[in-house]
Amino acid sequence: MSRPRAKKIKLLILDVDGVMTDGKIYLFPAPAEVQQALRKGREKYADKGGYTVSSDSMVEAKGFHAHDGTAMSLAQLGGIKTAIITKRVSETVRIRCRDLRIDHVYQGISDKLAAMQEILTKEGLTAEQAAYLGDDVIDLPAMRACGLAMAVANARESVKQVAHIVTEHVGGDGAVRDAVEYILKAQGTLDRVVAAYIGERSPN
Tens digits of residue pLDDT in 146-197: 999 999 999 999 999 999 999 999 999 999 999 999 999 999 999 999 999 9
**In terms of pLDDT, which residue wins out, 159 or 39?**
159
Please report the pLDDT score of residue 26 as a whole number: 85
Residue 203 has pLDDT above 80, yes or no: no
**In terms of pLDDT, which residue wins out, 53 or 137?**
137
**In terms of pLDDT, which residue wins out, 37 or 154?**
154
Q: What span, in angstroms and rounded, lies between the C-alpha atoms of 164 and 168?
A: 13
Which H helix or E strand runs over 119?
Answer: helix 112-123
Residue 41 has pLDDT above 60, yes or no: no
Start-to-end CA distance of the chain, whole Å, equals: 41
2-24+64-201 topology per CATH: Rossmann fold (3.40.50)
User: 182, exposed or middle or buried, with CB in 10 Å at 0-12, 13-18, 19+?
Assistant: buried
SS3 call for 194 = helix
As a whole-number percent, the residues of the chain with pLDDT over 90 amount to: 75
Domain boundaries, the chain: 2-24+64-201, 26-59
Please report the pLDDT score of residue 1 as a whole number: 73
